[in-house]
Chain A
Amino acid sequence: MESKALQPTVLQAREIVKRFGRVVAVDQVSFEVQQGEVLTLLGPSGCGKTTTLRMVAGFERPDGGEIEIQGKLVSSGAKRLHVPPEKRGLGMVFQSYAVWPHMTVYENVAYPLTLRHLGKSEVKQRVLDALDLVGLTGLGDRPSPLLSGGQQQRVALARALVYSPDILLLDEPLSNLDAKLRNSMRVELKRLQERVNVTVLFVTHDQIEAMSLSTRLAVMNRGRIEQLGTPQDIYERPQTAFVEDFIGRVIRFRGTVVDTSWKGLLVEIDNVGARLTVEGGEPLAPGQRVLVAIRPEDLVLEGRGENTLTCAVEKVLYLGSESEIVVRSGSELFTLTVPRAKATEVGDSIDLTLPPEHLRVWPDAESLPAGDSAINGHAVEAISASSVKTSSGAH
């Protein structure tokens, strides 16, 4: 969005492929990371994000495609070129932190520097600076098994940053921390990244981490990147049903297009007995099966005539500042959050309006279960291609 083009590219992955036996773990993934940005690979487990990161790190060899770091080719499937991890000039923080238990904090952080044959005083200065940076001042002599999870995390960060690597790779670094610590570490990670202005490639399955830390993020599914953009782009303009479902909450209905005669669509919703108008969207033919989706926060809790559903409240979960309610329309159940002021009780009837401008419509592939199916325009090809691959792999 911003001055992307002005920043030099630090990392470039071009159509990289990784197969484990017959399973295609990473399928022609391409992206580039610019100087100083945080690019996040986000997706459910098994989507190929960690494998992608490990190919960048050099722990896995791509079966196809190329990876370039600082303009230098480090991996190439075609040329059978593979630069080992220690020669790539990268820093990495592992999910388990991998702090070496037989070394003190100081020795852990000094390790990369001694491998680079730096003078003793310089090693010392840089280690102390790095420990200051991550907030471990004075803990250098501590044996690393005596550290808490949060402290180990900081040691791992200091160890990865101490030699000013070209890129910092983060492999789910926050997933082993408890919820409270995770929140504060997230803020601190952001602060740290801005301060040292390091380029980061970040892997996570947690969308809050991804949204709050990333300059840009790539949502991955089944070994492919479904969408790459700024967090705002991804949330507000999802390009596939999968992305919309994976990022944030969404309420979805199945239905059939009944009219396309004006600028929007008219969709007959299954099991509800209502028709919704949708603005814009892809050109679709009448009779086509579709998914109609809306973010719960875009729902209006009042009747407005058009696109209004009358729902029965089935369950109320009181959460303090707000309540979560389960409502029924026809035979469809869905959950939404209402503020305390709009408190309802079981058995109440409420009117919900689905504003046409907030509705999105995706072609529905009946064979695929809703939620997993990511179908839209050009993405249809990708999905059918990959499902063909999976089924041929099974035989």
Chain B
Amino acid sequence: MASPTVALEAPATSRAIARGTVLMTILLSVVAFIVIAPLAMMLLSSVQLSPPGRTPVYGLDGWVRATTDPAIANAFWNSITLSLMRELIALVIGVGLAWLIARTDLPGKNVLEFVFWIAFFLPPLPVAIGWILLLDGKVGLLNQWIAMLPFMVDSDGVARAAIFNIYSVGGIIWVHLTTSLGVKVLLLAPAFRNLDAALEEASRSCGASTIGTLIRIVVPVMAPAILVSSVLGMIRALEAFEIELLLGVPIGYYVFSTKIRDLVQFEPPQYAPASALGVAFLAILLALVWLQRRYLAGKVYRTVGGRGFSTRDTQLGRWRWPVFSGVVFLALLVTLVPVAVLVMGTFMRAFGYFNIPNPWTMQHWERVLRDPMLVRSFQNTLIVGFGSAAIGVIFYSVIAYVIVKTRFWGRALMDLLSWLPWAIPGVLMGLALLWTVFRTPFLLPLYGTVWLLIIALVIKSMPLGVQLTKSVLLQLGDELEEASRIAGGNWVTTYRRVVLPLLAPTLVTVGVVGFMSAARDISTIVLLGSSQSRTLALLSLDFAYGGQLERGTVVSVLTVAMVVIAAFIARLFGGKIGITHN
């Protein structure tokens, strides 16, 4: 019978209720506008054939090209097959890792979990550069070492072709492993942890082995959570951009996001087919998000803590140390190895050439650090990072509060709208916003400024921010607020002294995660940034894609440093991200 408090209803008159409703309706309109308007613009631009700013000419040529051009169709299917392959590999390894970390007596599992947490937040571009330095067909360190092995030279003394080539589909999947595994551990470890050990013990007492129990009890019970994380991973995989750009485009392998960039950066820009491809892709993603929401709504397994609830660790026995070595190897392979190579790369005169005189140098650091472009990008990163984090925290928490704690008529709609950007790939969001700005005269001054980047990132991080805040607000019983009201505190006092302090750690986490997303993001802002508003991540892409790999490494190291520091801060405040149980 406990019904949600009518939070904004504090004053006694019905006029005050009306005021609360009006404010919430305005909020709903803002959310609806920033989410729906760009999508509508994109739909419109897919049938508009004339460039923006001219007299519009409408037609279906864009759609015809998007559906008949084999290159576009190829990119479309590449996206899907690549994502499926990535997801399948990540699923098998990730479920195992999450179980080992959450449910067994694996040594040092907290540290290992944190390493995978870092892996999740590592920007893909620096990782990709690190792997290029290691696995490039010609200069890659590993390939060079292997070439020194005797059997790598054939009878005529000619070197065989390199074993590894990072510029391949395999290479793309390999580099993605860092993020893919990170996201699996991040989402599944907390879910595994909430499982009642009695379920496992019951299976063991019936005579099943550890592995038998894992396969026949743990995985089926966890199936909904695993499914949710798969759909989520699939959505994220489908929107991947920079790794595919760096490793795929040179060999003519396109996915949907790099194809859109290609079309938009074509001279003249091919907005109509790009938008058509985007709209088609969005339909698939929306279906996936719908699937995920359905499962999140009802079926995510919920184990309630209470009496008799135990989480005793499964004993790995003699496998304990071998498994530990394996997990440590994997953890370091996806994090430390590429980053260490990246750092080394910043000190090499020409990467991979050790036998030239003075192979080591500080000149890249000196040149880059003195470059006013870098200073500018660094400032931009801070402005965009802190700006989107600060605006996001306020915006998301108010949205979450309205959804969870009020009886506002539009809260279900608000919930849905705040989720929608989850389905919108970064590149599409950028494209859609670009169009919105072009077509809306009063927004045009935003073009080329950091503000446009901030708006894009606030929208992009909205689903995660709102969900995180919502999950904490849901756990915050209404009675905590009611106790304050009955003790004599009005709504404002209650919010300030009870709700806000309890929400604070989450808000800090949301802010830090927002900052990290902004600092590492490329796909959302790549079409929006100008040389004036470029962030460090965009700058390193420009360097790396423009063939200045050494300078790109320096900027990448700076980006990694920023993100890792932010990750430590977030961890410090104890905020955790997982599949929300609600």
Near B by CB (< 8 A), chain A positions 14-60 give 20, 25, 45-46, 50-51, 57-60
Please judge, given known A-B contacts A84-B10, A102-B501, whether A115 and B488 are in contact too, CB under 8 Å: yes
Q: How far, in whole Å, are A90 and B486 apart by their CA atoms in the complex?
A: 6
Is there contact, CB below 8 Å, between A85 and B485? yes
User: For chains A and B in complex, what number of residue pairs have CB atoms within 8 angstroms?
Assistant: 80
Is there contact, CB below 8 Å, between B483 and A100? yes
A-B contact pairs, 30 of them (CB 8 A): A20-B3, A45-B1, A57-B486, A58-B486, A60-B3, A80-B14, A81-B12, A83-B12, A84-B10, A84-B12, A84-B490, A85-B485, A87-B12, A90-B486, A91-B487, A92-B482, A92-B483, A94-B483, A96-B477, A96-B479, A98-B482, A100-B484, A100-B498, A100-B502, A102-B502, A111-B497, A112-B488, A115-B489, A156-B483, A169-B486
Return the contact of B487 from the options A51, A58, A83, A159 (Cβ within 8 A): A159
Q: How far is the CB of B262 from chain A (nearest CB, A)?
A: 52
Tier of interface size on chain B: 20 to 34
Please judge, given known A-B contacts A80-B14, A111-B497, whether A50 and B483 are in contact too, CB under 8 Å: no
Please judge, given known A-B contacts A84-B10, A98-B477, whether A116 and B488 are in contact too, CB under 8 Å: yes
Q: How far is the CB of B573 from chain A (nearest CB, A)?
A: 14
Q: How far is the CB of B122 from chain A (nearest CB, A)?
A: 33
Whether B89 is near chain A, meaning CB under 8 Å from some CB there, is: no
| Chain B, Cβ-Cβ closest to A20 | B3
Return the contact of A59 from the options B11, B14, B482, B498 (Cβ within 8 A): B482
| Chain A, Cβ-Cβ closest to B488 | A115
Q: How far, in whole Å, are A20 and B407 apart by their CA atoms in the complex?
A: 13
Please judge, given known A-B contacts A83-B12, A96-B477, A111-B497, whether A159 and B1 are in contact too, CB under 8 Å: no
Residue interface mask A79-119, B partner, CB < 8 A = 1:
01111111110111011111011100000000110011000
Return the contact of B1 from the options A50, A58, A115, A156 (Cβ within 8 A): A50
Near B by CB (< 8 A), chain A positions 155-206 give 156, 159-160, 163, 169
Q: How far, in whole Å, are A102 and B291 apart by their CA atoms in the complex?
A: 37
Task: Find chain A residues with CB under 8 A from B502 CB.
Answer: 100-102
Q: How far is the CB of A355 from chain B (nearest CB, A)?
A: 41
| Chain B, Cβ-Cβ closest to A115 | B488
Q: How far, in whole Å, are A82 and B485 apart by their CA atoms in the complex?
A: 14
Task: Find chain B residues with CB under 8 A from A94 CB.
Answer: 479, 482-483
Is there contact, CB below 8 Å, between B1 and A51? yes
Q: How far, in whole Å, are A222 and B542 apart by their CA atoms in the complex?
A: 71
Near A by CB (< 8 A), chain B positions 27-78 give none
Residue interface mask B453-494, A partner, CB < 8 A = 1:
000000000000000000000000101101111111110010
Please judge, given known A-B contacts A91-B486, A94-B479, whether A46 and B12 are in contact too, CB under 8 Å: no
Is there contact, CB below 8 Å, between B486 and A82? no
Is there contact, CB below 8 Å, between A86 and B497? no
Q: How far is the CB of A387 from chain B (nearest CB, A)?
A: 21
Task: Find chain A residues with CB under 8 A from B484 CB.
Answer: 100, 111
Q: How far is the CB of B155 from chain A (nearest CB, A)?
A: 74
Whether B5 is near chain A, meaning CB under 8 Å from some CB there, is: yes
| Chain B, Cβ-Cβ closest to A49 | B1
Return the contact of A98 from the options B1, B3, B14, B483 (Cβ within 8 A): B483
Question: Nearest 7 pairs between A and B by C-beta?
Answer: A112-B487, A98-B479, A98-B483, A85-B485, A94-B479, A115-B488, A92-B486
Q: How far, in whole Å, are A203 and B254 apart by their CA atoms in the complex?
A: 67
User: Which residues of B are interface residues toward A (Cβ below 8 A)?
Assistant: 1-3, 5, 10-12, 14, 477, 479-480, 482-490, 493, 497-498, 501-502
Return the contact of B488 from the options A83, A86, A102 (Cβ within 8 A): A86
**Among B2, B10, B479, B487, residue most surrounded by chain A Cβ atoms (within 10 Å):** B487
User: Which residues of A are interface residues toward B (Cβ below 8 A)?
Assistant: 20, 25, 45-46, 50-51, 57-60, 80-88, 90-92, 94-98, 100-102, 111-112, 115-116, 156, 159-160, 163, 169
Task: Find chain A residues with CB under 8 A from B482 CB.
Answer: 57, 59, 85, 92, 94, 98
Q: How far, in whole Å, are A23 and B524 apart by their CA atoms in the complex?
A: 49
Is there contact, CB below 8 Å, between A84 and B11? yes
Please judge, given known A-B contacts A80-B14, A102-B502, whether A86 and B480 are in contact too, CB under 8 Å: no
Q: How far, in whole Å, are A82 and B13 apart by their CA atoms in the complex?
A: 7
Task: Find chain B residues with CB under 8 A from A46 CB.
Answer: 1
Task: Find chain B residues with CB under 8 A from A97 CB.
Answer: 479
Q: How far, in whole Å, are A159 and B502 apart by their CA atoms in the complex?
A: 19
Q: How far is the CB of B386 from chain A (nearest CB, A)?
A: 26
**Among B5, B11, B484, B502, residue most surrounded by chain A Cβ atoms (within 10 Å):** B484
Is there contact, CB below 8 Å, between A98 and B480? yes
Is there contact, CB below 8 Å, between B479 and A95? yes
Return the contact of A85 from the options B1, B479, B486 (Cβ within 8 A): B486
Q: How far, in whole Å, are A76 and B5 apart by their CA atoms in the complex?
A: 19
Q: How far is the CB of B482 from chain A (nearest CB, A)?
A: 6
Is there contact, CB below 8 Å, between A111 and B487? yes
Q: How far, in whole Å, are A163 and B502 apart by their CA atoms in the complex?
A: 25
Return the contact of B486 from the options A80, A86, A101, A116 (Cβ within 8 A): A86
Is there contact, CB below 8 Å, between B479 and A115? no
Q: How far is the CB of B421 from chain A (nearest CB, A)?
A: 32
Q: How far, in whole Å, are A25 and B2 apart by their CA atoms in the complex?
A: 12
Q: How far, in whole Å, are A100 and B2 apart by their CA atoms in the complex?
A: 18
| Chain A, Cβ-Cβ closest to B493 | A115
Task: Find chain B residues with CB under 8 A from A58 CB.
Answer: 485-486
Please judge, given known A-B contacts A51-B1, A84-B12, whether A100 and B480 are in contact too, CB under 8 Å: yes
Task: Find chain A residues with CB under 8 A from B11 CB.
Answer: 84
Is there contact, CB below 8 Å, between B479 and A86? no
Q: How far, in whole Å, are A370 and B483 apart by their CA atoms in the complex?
A: 40
Q: How far, in whole Å, are A94 and B498 apart by their CA atoms in the complex?
A: 16
Q: How far, in whole Å, are A163 and B1 apart by their CA atoms in the complex?
A: 28
Q: How far is the CB of B470 from chain A (nearest CB, A)?
A: 19
Q: How far, in whole Å, are A20 and B10 apart by their CA atoms in the complex?
A: 20
Task: Find chain B residues with CB under 8 A from A80 CB.
Answer: 14
Is there contact, CB below 8 Å, between B498 and A86? no
| Chain B, Cβ-Cβ closest to A111 | B487
Q: How far is the CB of B9 from chain A (nearest CB, A)?
A: 8
Task: Find chain A residues with CB under 8 A from B1 CB.
Answer: 25, 45-46, 50-51
Q: How far, in whole Å, are A91 and B489 apart by their CA atoms in the complex?
A: 12
Q: How far, in whole Å, are A270 and B501 apart by their CA atoms in the complex?
A: 65
| Chain A, Cβ-Cβ closest to B2 | A50
Q: How far, in whole Å, are A170 and B310 apart by their CA atoms in the complex?
A: 33
Q: How far is the CB of B373 from chain A (nearest CB, A)?
A: 46
Q: A86-B490, A160-B486 are in contact. List 6 more A-B contacts (CB 8 A).
A: A50-B1, A59-B485, A92-B486, A98-B482, A115-B489, A159-B487
Is there contact, CB below 8 Å, between A82 and B12? yes
Task: Find chain A residues with CB under 8 A from B480 CB.
Answer: 98, 100
**Among B480, B485, B486, B493, residue most surrounded by chain A Cβ atoms (within 10 Å):** B486
Q: How far, in whole Å, are A351 and B324 apart by their CA atoms in the complex?
A: 75
| Chain B, Cβ-Cβ closest to A88 | B486
**Among A87, A111, A163, residue most surrounded by chain B Cβ atoms (within 10 Å):** A111
Is there contact, CB below 8 Å, between A163 and B486? no
Q: How far, in whole Å, are A58 and B3 apart by their CA atoms in the complex?
A: 13
Task: Find chain B residues with CB under 8 A from A82 CB.
Answer: 12
Q: How far, in whole Å, are A187 and B114 apart by their CA atoms in the complex?
A: 50
